[in-house]
Amino acid sequence: MTSPDGSILVSMRDDINLALSDFVKTGSQYLSNIGVELKPVATEIEKFLLDSGKRLRPLFAYAGLLSTGKKPTPQMIKAVASLELIHVCALIHDDVMDNSDTRRGAPSIHKIFEAIHNQQKLSGSASQFGSASAILMGDLALVWSAQMLHTSGISDQELIGVLPFYDEMRVELMAGQYLDVFEQSLATQSIERSMKVARFKSGKYTIERPLHFGVALGNGSTDLLKAFTDYGIPLGEAFQLRDDILGIFGNPKETGKPAGDDLREGKRTALIAATFDKANKSQLEVLDQYFGDPNLSDVQISLLQEIIVETGALSHIESMIKQLAETSLNALAYEAISLEGKRLLQELAQLATNRKI
């Protein structure tokens, strides 16, 4: 059995990080030439981008490319790495939208710029300055992604080939994010609706479209695109379900988020929908009282966690993850997928569904 973070993934991630680091250095220099005022913008995007991150979208694109049988060139690695900057935009904007103070255990971008405003004793509202800076930096990351792709050095034909998938990926991200924001504003839970959000936010944006991007880059067949829809959609749903479990049961030291964070936030996920579905009257009373209370104590968090386990909701979602992962892996039987691609996609499926962060 391959390790969920086997050496091939590590070396691919190193390649991706190197390409990102190179690009951001040039981008930062460009900004600094415009004005010294932009120095913190460049520095903080660079830190945010390079400090951590699983690089899932570039890795799936890389896997899609390898599956075509093509040997990736350094230019192609730059092209797949550019997808990470879309994700930087999504995370920075997400934190502004959710008003989240931390990201991966460190202050979120808008909090960093709020602090800069305070330190430099600037005039006006520090929190408004923080949000405005973060909105612009998310926009910049989105534009940088495109610029990194366009200047990656892949051939004109390769670039023209990937653009439709690149665009669909970005439209589906924004659509999925809106579906999620809207879902969070509803007063009821629904597994079905949560799975639809998962399909767009994770199935398509995180897995299917990056794979398609890689296939297009390697000039792969329509068969391969079809195989990756069959592999990507269920795996993305499983990925999101794992995310939902980690948001409630994750170890704060590993996730970088406080324990039970999603319970305080009242995040409507498939796991929570299943819990409400399966709860008896007394459990329902506790859920109604505590779920979404921003001031929950650790004891109250434990109480809610117990209910999620006792109703059988947790094991229900775990078995859904298992089933979805199986469906996903079955799609790898397609003959069109190269052996190297197949092995990598098996590892990535493990990483996406069994991860702890």
List of residues contacting a copy of itself (CB under 8 A):
27, 30-31, 34-35, 37-38, 41, 89, 93, 96-99, 117, 122-124, 128-129, 131-133, 135-140, 142-144, 146-147, 150-151, 156-157, 159-160, 163-164, 167, 170-172, 174-175, 177-179, 181-182, 184-187, 196, 200
Minimum distance, C-beta of residue 192 to a copy of itself, in the bound complex (Å) = 12
Tell me which DSSP letter residue 152 carries. Answer: S
Nearer CB in complex with a copy of itself: 200/239: 200
Give the HSE-up count for residue 121: Cα atoms under 13 Å, Cβ half-sphere. Answer: 0
- The CB-of-341 to a copy of itself minimum distance in angstroms stands at 27
Q: Please enumerate in sequence order all residues whose Cβ is within 8 A of that of 159, keeping only pairs 6 or more positions apart, or say none.
A: 79, 149, 150, 152
Q: How far is the CB of 217 from a copy of itself (least distance, A)?
A: 16
Of 167 and 223, nearer to a copy of itself (C-beta) is: 167
Nearest approach in angstroms of CB 107 to a copy of itself is 19
Q: What is the DSSP letter of 221?
A: -
CB 206 to a copy of itself: min, Å: 16
Pair of tokens at residue 150: 């366009």
Which CB sits closer to a copy of itself, 267 or 355? 267
- Report residue 267: phi and psi, to 5°: -70, 125
> With respect to a copy of itself, which residue has the nearer C-beta, 215 or 345?
215
> Would you give the end-to-end CA distance of the chain in angstroms?
21
Contact 60, 31 (CB under 8 A): no
The single residue listed with the structure tokens 């809610």 is: 304
**Structure token pair of residue 9:** 């993934």
Query: Which residue, 13 or 117, is less far from a copy of itself as judged by CB?
Result: 117
Q: Which two tokens stand for residue 56?
A: 């899932």
